[in-house]
Amino acid sequence: MSEHETSSPWRRFWEKGGWWRSLLVVVAYFVVYQGVPLLFAPLFPARPGPAATIWLFTVIPIAFGGLVLVAFAWSLGWLRELFGPQPIRGRGWMWIAVAVVLLFNILRFAAVDYAKAGAGVVVAWLVAGLCIGFAEETLTRGFVVTLMRKHGYREIAVASVSAALFAALHAGNLLTGQSVFATALQLVYTFAFGVLMYLALRVTGNLVWPILLHASTDPSIFLSTLYPTHGAVAAFAGLGNPAVIVTGLILLIFIRGGVAQSTTRRISSASRSVRRASARSGSHPPASPPP
């Protein structure tokens, strides 16, 4: 009896993949993320300070959401699939995505007035960054990418949908009073950033690296925005958002291939290798490579 036949209906449902299952996972995560602060709010003072606010409204809900995602992956037996080597290789030009994000993150960190921010706020944002990077990348570059690939979509669709759902998560900022215009700009930025994180996943071959790259992004943005210094470094760091938008939208155009095509190429390559080895030994090669 095959593994598919012995697996639970729960696992069989998610193994089919598809864009709407990806959307379902993202919506469920968003509900959890929005609801957790309501549960933990009584543990904090009525008027929390800057560091406590970060812990309450960012660290705790996102950390809890990350744990839920890990439990979800475990229930499906996907932990190794999500965090193991990628099934399709990246290309050299994809390192551009890593370089652009990393460069501006370093510049933003260099443009922070740490004395004004204070150690408590800096530590809180660094921890928040780790939680954000883990949860959001596991959700969008982990689950969404995996679900899209399981349904057989080409990689440009995989990248676009994972970036679009990542951007859609940030539309929830409208609930906090953020203006429509500011939210619209944020959606454009987060879509492009999502494309760059997909490329980081492809070119590094493992989800851990986009998680760490993302983990350094949010703290650098918030700290440099709230506690900025002045000078050439700060001015250049301010170009980070436009650079990400332009780079992400341009590089999206060049994404090609798919997991099924990559697997077919590997099988064809293995078949040619078997035939060449058989020809040298004088034996007759099999019609196709062994499963």
Q: Per residue in 220-241, pLDDT tens?
A: 999 999 999 999 999 999 999 9
* pLDDT tens by residue, 49-99: 899 889 988 998 999 999 999 999 999 999 999 999 999 999 999 999 999
Q: Which residue has the tokens 């760091």?
A: 237
38 with 124, same domain: the answer is yes
Residue 211 CA to residue 214 CA, distance in Å, equals 5
Same domain (yes/no): 83, 195: yes
Residues 90 and 129 in one domain: yes
154 and 269 share one domain:
no
pLDDT value for 270: 41
Beta bridge partners of 228: 112
Query: Cα separation of 143 and 145, whole Å?
Result: 6
- Does 252 share its domain with 270? no
Q: In which domain, by residue range, is 253 found?
A: 3-257
Half-sphere exposure of 43 (CA within 13 A, CB side): 11
Render pLDDT for 94-150 as a digit per residue (tens, 0 to 9).
999 999 999 999 999 999 999 999 999 999 999 999 999 999 999 999 999 999 999
The Cα–Cα gap between 169 and 133 comes to 14
CB 68 within 8 A of CB 34: no
Same domain? 179 vs 195: yes
Average pLDDT of every residue of the chain: 89
For residues 142 and 270, membership in a common domain is answered with no
Regarding whether 109 and 136 lie in a shared domain, the answer is yes
Distance CA 37, CA 211 (A): 23
Q: What is the domain count for the chain?
A: 2
For residues 101 and 95, give the distance between their C-alpha atoms in angstroms, rounded to a whole number. Answer: 10
Tokens coding 116: 């004004």
**Do 265 and 176 fall within a single domain?**
no
For residues 276 and 274, what is the distance between their CA atoms, to the nearest angstrom? 6
In terms of pLDDT, which residue wins out, 249 or 35?
A: 249
